Structure 1
Amino acid sequence: MNTPVDTHKVILPGATLGVLGGGQLGRMFAHAAQAMGYFTAVLDQDATSPAGLVSHHHVRTGYEDPQGLTELAQLCAAVTTEFENVPAGALNQLAASLPVSPAGASVAIAQDRAAEKAHFVKCGVPCAPYAVIESPEQLAAVNDALLPGILKTARMGYDGKGQIRVKTRAELVAGWEELGRVACVLEKMLPLAHECSVIVARGRDGTIVNLPVQRNLHRDGILAVTEVYEGNLPATQVEQAITAAKSVAIGLDYVGVLCVEFFVLDNGQLVVNEIAP
């Protein structure tokens, strides 16, 4: 019989904290943890991964390797992930024996645009009008009102990758073929002024706090400039963004740090774009 994991136990400096993923975000995590007095462990198969090079322990296996996950669990008092594309199943396996934040269920939603948008709708947070396309029948049934739009792969797209702008139904059909006929989401193209984001942190006790709202400027789909200062956005937009971000996190029963990204339309309306654990 498995002993329930005590997820509310305070983990004091001197313990080892683990992270799945050895990239630059994992390296930032490791440095921050070490500055607070923690040891760190990284699971990443790259022997020269940025986070692995600065951590006390480096488990050099793939994310789904059972032996590697067991070794990480034995080393650590708790585990996190550096980004959302770590397999949710690996987080679930680790959660059977130690605290894991964010939970695999939250990461699984962040990994799938269709599930992500369904969550936004469930939380009552506005998002761009969209349609899920997983079959030729769903493709044919797309409402013309969604064009022009942006066709995005449901999984693994980021920083402008896995996205095609389509103006007509013919371009939509061709775009889906170009993306390999994989599961996609078609989002209606909206008149954007800019983007903004809110970073929230939610504890296991439900306490939730946020950093100041960020105003983001993109170039070719990639973040170029983030501005954080008093008055960077109208007060009403700031309040709306914080309220919506907290609603998204609470709806996930999220534990950990979460970034919620928004489009700001020309008329000042906010629509949520995506989440980033």
Structure 2
Amino acid sequence: MTHQPLPPGESNHRLAWPLRRANHEDGGRVFTALGRFVHAAMGLLVTHDWRGSDRLPQTGGVLVVSNHLSYFDAVALGEFLIWSGRWPRYLGKVQLWKTPVVGWLARSCEQIPVDRGSAKAAEVLVTAQGALDDGRCVTMYPEGTLTRDPETWPMTARSGAARLALRSQHPVVPVGQWGANHVIGGTGMGMPRFFPRKRIHVCCGEPIDLSDLRPWVGTEREGEAVRAASVRIMDALTGLVEELRGTPAPRDRWDTRVGARVPQPPARVDEAGSRGPTDPGEV
């Protein structure tokens, strides 16, 4: 997928907009108050480079996919999405719902818990599908965890985002981001480092075209379609991150299962291709 690169700060004018102008959706009392608080705090603590806000559909169900850099991602990405016109419903680890304050906020803001240790983990995609059908903005990290890539590039994806994307028929919009990892780095929940002020870069890309892959859903080739969709999603995100970082990514992509970068499978289903085993359906 190709798109026209956008200049830094192309959407920064939205930072000065009041919430009622930036977002016409009903976020609910708690989410609205939280959004305003986060926006005010971020204005004091970080600087912004926002691009492509106008690419985000303003109405109807939309699946936003993003790379996962840091535990600060949800704040940085959430502020961008809210001031770009949508209230995000994240898929997040169920453990957060058991945490005081954070759990209450997650429930009050209608976020979607994922219990990966349960045999019913895949049912979360049914819940997410329902949210999309209700016109919500559902937000997923296709990698399923913080990147382990040594240079912090997007990794290979789990299959959950691709499965939802193929089955839902709703737009799939990539949002690349960089800079949250400079506030909280690594794979743990460390203390935020706000000083000197860090710059948060976020760029919304064009919707990802999966129309040629959707007809394979429900057939014996669905596993291939899911793998191809996963590659397209991560290719789109990697391209956006390259734009934000101003440097090319490695050709291969880090796979946590082998602890190394690996070549990627085709981003399409070949009519004459092999019928490999289906993906296990990880969220």
TM-score, normalization by structure 1: 0.32
TM-score, normalization by structure 2: 0.32
Q: Which has the higher contact order (CA 8 A, sep 6+)?
A: 2
Query: Higher strand proportion, which one?
Result: 1
Larger radius of gyration: 1
